[in-house]
Amino acid sequence: MYKSRIAGMGHHVPEQVVTNHDLSTMMDTSDEWIRTRSGIQERRWSPQDTGTSDLAYEASVNAIENAGIKASNIELVIVGTISSDYFFPGVSAQIQDRLGLNTVGAFDIKAACSAFIYSLSVADQFIKTGMVKTALVIGAEAQSKLIDKSTEGRDVSVLFGDGAGAAILTRSDDGNGILSTHLHCEGRELKHLWMEAPGTSPNAWINNLELDSDKFKPIMNGKEVFKNAVTRFPEVIEEAMAANKLSMDDIQLIIPHQANYRISQAVAKRMGVEMDKVYSNIHKYGNTTAASIPIALSEALAENKISKGDHIILAAFGAGFTWASAAIKW
């Protein structure tokens, strides 16, 4: 059985910076209110003519360049997103076409904030079993197109930003790479963080009477999300360490989903970890859902926070509820 490694990372965010002050002109909020509750100072929002696939494509081009490969080497495309350009087909089909990848397999994974690790895990299995040698894994979102930018929707809208991150996975030739991945879900909690429509359930059909209802807006029970996140994050990080006989002293960097800086602080405190071991860029980008981990990993590499031989843990928690982790030896 083969082992996979991340050969290159890339990310892309829109140019438009939306500060907390900017939001205060759209809704009843303030810079202080947002910062104290989330740690977010600004986020990026896409222009109207830019979709999730555009962000994903730019991140992919960056990852291909950083991996030192040709696009034609890619044999599989997996995209994690909940904000695809179209109801169907998925963003992966658009990326496959724009990169000129002929008829290689491409599909999307809808696991919200955990989707990048879910996608990474699937690609890892394809490489481990010898089905492909090189895979492109993307987390991308344009959530600004979906949120309610009024005072009524502020609990959600102040948190989210747009962006994309991409990874090139290849076979490892030195034993380093993805050591293990761990995926979980607890579907009974799904209505604490969800968007009911559009869908095919009896209450989610699109019609003129329903278009202005809350069914078409993301809904979040913040207290339940926080309570579950600060429990599941430590569990899944410890699961990844235990599977590989690692202690926290062996870990150089933890890259969590950038959901809320207060969640990251609470998780670090529970695990007895200093915050300098927990990567954070949420102050710049907000919560970019499936894109947050690959953007953070890409930036951490660019900032030389990861060296060859380092052990890192990726960890996520999101709608579903889903949660996941990956242990990697760089």
- State the chain's maximal CA–CA distance in angstroms: 60
Q: What is the pLDDT of residue 204?
A: 67
pLDDT in tens, 74-121: 999 999 999 999 999 999 999 999 999 999 999 999 999 999 999 999
R_g (Cα) of the chain, nearest Å: 19
pLDDT in tens, 199-242: 888 776 666 656 666 777 788 898 999 999 999 999 999 999 99
Distance CA 89, CA 93 (A): 7
Q: What are phi and psi of 109, to 5 degrees?
A: -125, 130
Distance CA 299, CA 129 (A): 30
Query: What angle separates helix 261-271 from helix 31-38, to the nearest 10 degrees?
Result: 30
User: Which CATH code of 2.60.40.1260, 3.30.830.10, 2.40.50.140, 3.40.47.10 fits the domain covering 4-174?
Assistant: 3.40.47.10
pLDDT band at 151 (very low <50, low <70, confident <90, very high): very high
Q: What is the pLDDT of residue 209?
A: 54
Q: What is the pLDDT of residue 219?
A: 84
Distance CA 290, CA 110 (A): 9
Q: What is the pLDDT of residue 182?
A: 98
Closest CA to 114 of 322, 327, 285: 322
Mean pLDDT, all residues of the chain: 95
Give me 226's structure tokens. 């926080």
Q: What is the pLDDT of residue 293?
A: 98
Closest CA to 86 of 173, 145, 14: 145
Q: Looking at the annotation, which residues are catalytic?
A: 113, 257, 287
Distance CA 80, CA 230 (A): 23
Q: What is the pLDDT of residue 218?
A: 84
pLDDT band at 287 (very low <50, low <70, confident <90, very high): very high
Q: Hey, where are the domains in the chain?
A: 4-174, 178-329
Q: What is the pLDDT of residue 207?
A: 65
Closest CA to 228 of 268, 272, 195, 185: 185
pLDDT at 145 over 90: yes
**CA angle at 292 for the pair 180 and 69, rounded to the nearest 5°:** 65
Taking the alpha carbons of 289, 124, 167, 109 in that order, is the dihedral positive or negative?
negative
Distance CA 50, CA 45 (A): 10
Distance CA 224, CA 205 (A): 27
Stated pTM of the model? 0.96
pLDDT in tens, 30-53: 999 999 999 999 999 999 999 999
**C-alpha neighbours within 13 Å on the C-beta side of residue 52:** 30
Q: Domain 178-329 carries which CATH code? A: 3.40.47.10
Give me 297's structure tokens. 């990993």
Q: Dihedral, CA atoms, 207, 212, 215, 216, nearest 10 degrees?
A: 90
Question: Mapping DSSP to helix (H, G, I), strand (E, B) and coil, where does residue 42 land?
Answer: strand
Beta bridge partners of residue 315, listed in sequence order:
256, 325
Share above pLDDT 70 across residues of the chain, in percent, rounded to a whole number = 97
Q: Average of pLDDT values for 149-177?
A: 95
